[in-house]
Structure 1
């Protein structure tokens, strides 16, 4: 480290000047960040936004000195309270990390040691920086976890990460990041994998804690609504460079750079109320009316009534899972009823654990229902066997959330897409090849992708491959289980438009599973809201978004980041 200079009164806590970061690869050096300049004042929250590969996380890791082994800062300075951290020896950076700069990484499951108790992991941070002794560390661990909003902190300290929900694991990471009362906290996509209601709770807690401690926050996110809601200033990055920065509301309400304008336009969390859902409608829908409303105290469990042309009709669907070692079974889905009109999109929304994915898996006949019925074009799905079951599986296809884990990493893209055609013996080898090429055209992927593998594709490209595979057998219904939740806003926007185009072209029906009401706003004709296994509200998309009746629906809508912003798109 260069000689430390005394902090200049009124100077920013963090000053990044002309910083460039380079990675050594087999193909030569790759510039990940170029000429970045930014300031962060004490107690301020600064959001760095951009899509994957824009350089935002690399910039943050350069500040805390945690670049991968093949990465290095090639120019510029990073001044923290007047001290230059570029080139500082590891022994010095170890004293800076945790004590002066805290970190809340993105994925809590991969960043918490799965074989070490939560309390022990918090204690490591406290003991390493001399903020606790072996005598009082247990007490301070409980205090730290309680400050992060974990209920029954004493018990939680003795548990392992797998015993925590996603929100609880993220709170544990926040506790570790703030355990040493750092002056700067780097929060790298701290809530990207969480439901909107849990996300709001976590961010509220983070705001309270950093406000009480006077901690500056560098928030890394691709969610512009979240940035506008939580930060005083926003820095927009694209291809390693800062293209625009300034006050958060000013940047997002009146973006100047074309890239920022594209981000704002594509972000459903910001733009949902401005986009017209009918853009995504397929052909003019058959008339579907709601049934007479049921007792409000019974959770307003209303659904679109049966129409002559419903492709799926679900009635009284229930799924109970036995729990080992417990007398009471777990009711994952409880008396759910709804229909999917032909050529339209029905969305099922709710938090994790609400039963929406279990419902989808019963419709796909992955799970058998405990009770109730699923009718596909008038035929009871539960009784399907042999040839009728094979025909059903060809007509109803899934698109899963994670396009990487749902694609065989050992198969080429051509083999992945052609696999269902081969399994069901559709056409000759030449005809299958022609079909695969046509499917690549349908999902706007180049023919050069045929010989590539999933690891060589981006997340958006992999999801397009998953969509092509789902279309291979010319299905009538596609069950989309969180198909865009893992994607950046620009890629997400592309996939949603692609699904809309395919629906119009082929007359597809969609059952769309999501926890994100902003995304649902863009693509759905009907919305069913689930909570704790029950359907609490169901109505047209327009009705749900303009006149939600159930308190839980209103809570979901209120939790959308940036939902109150008046942003012209």
Structure 2
């Protein structure tokens, strides 16, 4: 391991000698390594990518050791090399990427240079993968049950006669409700959380020795996240399997992994016991990561001289004021939603009610967050507000105007003043456009400035969301998940809207960029009086940014109060269960020197 890596005694992440002996044939049954022996051993790994701008060294001299039956987490910001390291291990680097040095040994067998035919016997059967982005990894024209079954059939673990029942069992193990019905659905018919669980089901289908989980719960609410991670832990205990967990959630890493590897700019900078690193980080970069991580213990920061007590808006007490609104003493709501209901007819079955009698208000300059499990109706509510789907009944007013009746010029003005940042950046960005053109597109559509002015504005926005200027010429496929989400946020800010609907806007971002984006959103709100409808499953983020919180379950609002009230005195049992499920909540993490108490 590199000399600049902070070391810890007894760490399994420290580089060890490669196992002796001949490697078993690819696909041959292998005995489980002895407890504590390395199942995956990466030594001095170098990975390069050929780009239009030249060769990019994505990973340099990275080393780690994952023992059999253990869980090792790799953390770091977007572009740090953590996903590239994992993809190199499973032989799934993009066509322009290649391993240029080092060794990757799995169960004693060298994987670097292994022919593709032999690698296919290992990948899926002995090494499972749960990728980060469900929409770009699931076939949109194939039912999800068929996609899970394909894995079982390919590796000879099911027959055509048994595959349907085995698919149902795999889906149940992955926490997917109504697996028989869900197996017959297409990916677009599932919520983001359910799509992610389908990927988890595929990764676990063959009960592999090693599961590489690349942000496996980034799209899931905390209660489902807990169920999925508990199931992964159970599999590890039963089969002696190992988990390589890639995550930007430090609390999750500390709670679920015994060992932690911190990567920065393609290098391992710190490795060792997970809790020891997070409670007492040694490297300056690790300290900055810990300092930037949001915590439910940290209340929303308010400027001095303002009373943090919420001010009720209406008789139903469904809104509170932000700092900007307090400053202006503006009690007029920008958005009012009353008794909003969405019912989907289902052929041959009872109609499905996605949202029922939802009421909330968004004051000018305030942040109202909506939290709840996947399928609770929070995204459906947001899409009705955006006028992307029509409600079955109810009312929506924006700045005093009826949204549901808007047409022509009124609707165009509404689209300009209300922007959205969606959960899945890959599916919301045009893959044939460069980053610069994507950000400039709303400016062009509303005839803002000339070509030179639009390009200058795009570069300003890229700087605000921490994207390098040379990314202006890149395409979405050339960016990491976090970088793509930053492009989506920059595009939403282009027209300087009054309201931004944020559907999981920071779920794909590492904690450093997440902190930058949240700071940016708060700064824009204070300077411009922006309002936000913020949808998130990350309650620590919700606590940090919200004035007011709505908790939804099964399509209904079960609790609504100020952020302070929700987090310090939750009244509904479901709200209390959400708070209890937050990973790493019990950790006492402190940073000295480079950061503050988190």
User: Taking structure 2 as the reference length, what is the TM-score of the superposition?
Assistant: 0.79
| Residue 533 in structure 1 maps to residue 555 in structure 2 | yes
User: Offset of 1:172 from its aligned partner?
Assistant: 4.7
**Greater shift in the superposed pair: 165-174 or 278-287:** 278-287
* 1:556 counterpart = 2:578: yes
- Counterpart of 1:17? 43
| Residue aligning to 2:8 | none
Deviates more, 1:203-212 or 1:308-317: 308-317
- 1:246: how far off? 0.9
Distance in 2 between residues matched to 1:477 and 1:534, nearest whole Å? 23
The residue number in structure 2 matching 1:56 is 82
Give unpaired runs (5+ residues) of structure 1: 294-301
Match of 2:10 in 1: none
- Shift of residue 127, structure 1, vs aligned partner: 5.2
Aligned CA distance change for structure 1 residues 398 and 150 (closer, same or farther; 3 Å): closer
Deviation at 1:131, TM superposition (A): 4.8
- Classify 1:24/1:146 alpha carbon distance in 2 versus 1 (closer, same or farther; 3 Å): same
Distance 1:421 1:151, change over 3 A: closer
Task: Name 2:284's counterpart in structure 1.
Answer: 258
Q: Are residues 525 and 145 of structure 1, via their aligned partners in 2, closer, same or farther at CA, if it must alter by over 3 Å?
A: closer
Moved more, 182-191 or 442-451: 442-451
User: How far apart, in 1, do the equivalents of 2:189 and 2:382 lie?
Assistant: 25
Q: Deviations over 1:405-448 (max 9, x none)?
A: 5556666777766665666566x759966993796499367996
User: How many angstroms apart in 2 are the aligned matches of 1:249 and 1:206?
Assistant: 20
**Residue in 1 that maps onto 2:499:** 477
Alignment pair present for 1:3 and 2:3? no
Map of 2:269 onto structure 1: 243
Shift of 1:290: 7.2
Which residue is equivalent to 2:509?
487
**CA–CA distance in 1 between the matches of 2:472 and 2:198?**
43
- Structure 2 distance, partners of 1:282, 1:437, is 36
Q: Which residue of 2 aligns with 1:32?
A: 58
> Equivalents in 1 of 2:40, 2:530: separation in Å?
52
* Aligned partner (choices 303, 312, 316) of residue 318 of structure 2: 303
Asked if the contact 1:417/1:469 (under 8 Å) is kept, the reply is yes
Query: How many residues end up aligned between the 2 structures?
Result: 557
* In 2, Cα distance between equivalents of 1:440 and 1:550: 41
Counterpart CA distance in 2 for 1:173 and 1:401 is 17
Which shifted more, 435-444 or 228-237? 435-444
Indicate the RMSD between aligned Cα atoms, in angstroms.
Answer: 4.1
Deviation for aligned residue 1:503: 1.3
Query: Aligned-pair distance for 1:495?
Result: 1.0
In the TM superposition, residue 47 of structure 1 has moved relative to its aligned partner by 0.9
Structure 1 counterpart of 2:11: none
Could you tell me which residue of structure 2 aligns to residue 90 of structure 1?
A: 116
Distance 1:177 1:117 in 2: 17
- Relative to structure 1, the CA distance from residue 167 to residue 201 in structure 2 (aligned partners, 3 Å threshold; closer, same or farther) is farther
CA apart distance, 1:177: 3.5
Give me the whole-angstrom Cα distance separating, in 2, the residues matched to 1:174 and 1:460.
Answer: 20
CA separation in 2, counterparts of 1:149 and 1:440?
A: 40
Q: CA contact under 8 A between 2:302 and 2:308: conserved in structure 1?
A: no
Secondary structure of residue in 2 paired with 1:225: helix
Structure 2: gaps spanning 5 or more residues: 1-19, 25-30, 322-328, 591-597
* Map of 2:103 onto structure 1: 77
- Structure 2 contact 548–563 (Cα < 8 Å) conserved: yes
Query: Cα 1:56–1:389, aligned 2, differ >3 Å: closer, same or farther?
Result: closer
CA distance in 2, matches of 1:378, 1:179: 52
With over 3 angstroms needed to count, the CA separation of the structure-2 counterparts of 1:79 and 1:421, relative to structure 1, is closer
Note the alpha carbon deviations across 1:130-166, whole angstroms, 9 max, x for none: 5556676666555555554556666766666566655
Separation (CA, whole Å) in 2 of partners of 1:158 and 1:386: 39
How far 1:556 sits from its partner (Å)?
2.1
Residue pair 1:50, 1:222 contacting (<8 A) in 2 also: yes
Gap change, CA 1:564 and 1:363, over 3 Å in 2: same
Secondary structure of the corresponding residue to residue 205 of structure 1: helix
The answer to whether the 8 Å contact 2:430/2:438 transfers is yes
Deviates more, 1:277-286 or 1:318-327: 277-286
* Matched residue, 1:544: 566
Q: Distance in 2 between matches of 1:231 and 1:381?
A: 48
Deviation at 1:236, TM superposition (A): 0.9
Q: Is the 8 A contact 2:459 2:472 kept in 1?
A: no
Deviation, 1:264, is 1.6
- Residue 358 of structure 1, aligned match among 380, 385, 401: 380
More displaced, 8-17 or 128-137? 128-137
| Aligned-partner Cα distance in 1 for 2:442–2:146 | 48
Following TM superposition, by how much is the alpha carbon of 1:552 offset from its aligned partner in structure 2, in angstroms? 1.9
- Distance of 1:118 and 1:415 partners within structure 2: 34
Q: Deviations over 1:442-500 (max 9, x none)?
A: 93679967974664777666656655555555544333333222323222211110111
CA distance in 2, matches of 1:164, 1:364: 20
- Who is 1:233 aligned against? 259
Q: Contact (CA 8 Å) 1:525, 1:541: kept in 2 or not?
A: yes
Matches within 5 A, 1:383-398: 392-398=414-420
2:354 is the alignment partner of 1:332: yes
Q: Distance in 1 between matches of 2:408 and 2:138?
A: 46
TM-score, length of structure 1 as denominator length? 0.82
Instruction: Confirm or deny that 1:501 pairs with 2:528.
Output: no
Inter-partner Cα distance in structure 1 for 2:542 and 2:121: 46
When structure 1 is superposed on structure 2, of 371-380 and 224-233 the one drifting more is 371-380
Which residue of structure 2 lines up, in the alignment, with residue 296 of structure 1?
none
Q: In the aligned structure 1, how far is the partner of 2:445 from the partner of 2:529?
A: 25
Describe the shift of the 1:510–1:168 C-alpha distance in structure 2 as closer, same or farther (beyond 3 A).
Answer: closer
Counterpart pick for 1:47 among 73, 76, 96: 73
C-alpha distance in 1 between matches for 2:443 and 2:187: 41
CA spacing shift, 1:50–1:103, aligned 2, 3 Å:
same
3-state SS of 2:38 partner: coil
* SS in structure 2 at match of 1:278: coil
CA distance in 1, matches of 2:182, 2:404: 42
CA contact (8 A) 1:147 1:209 kept: no
CA distance in 2, matches of 1:272, 1:124: 41
- What corresponds to 2:457 in structure 1? 436
**Structure 1 stretch displaced more, 349-358 or 244-253:** 349-358
**195, 214, 221: which is aligned to 1:195?**
221
Matched, 1:565 2:587: yes
C-alpha deviation, 1:325, in angstroms: 2.6
Aligned counterparts of 1:278 and 1:559: Cα–Cα separation in 2: 24
Cα 1:15/1:320, change in 2 over 3 Å: closer
Equivalences for 1:84-163 in 2 at 5 Å?
84-114=110-140, 121-122=147-148, 124-126=150-152, 128-129=154-155, 131=157, 144-149=170-175
In the TM superposition, residue 122 of structure 1 has moved relative to its aligned partner by: 4.9
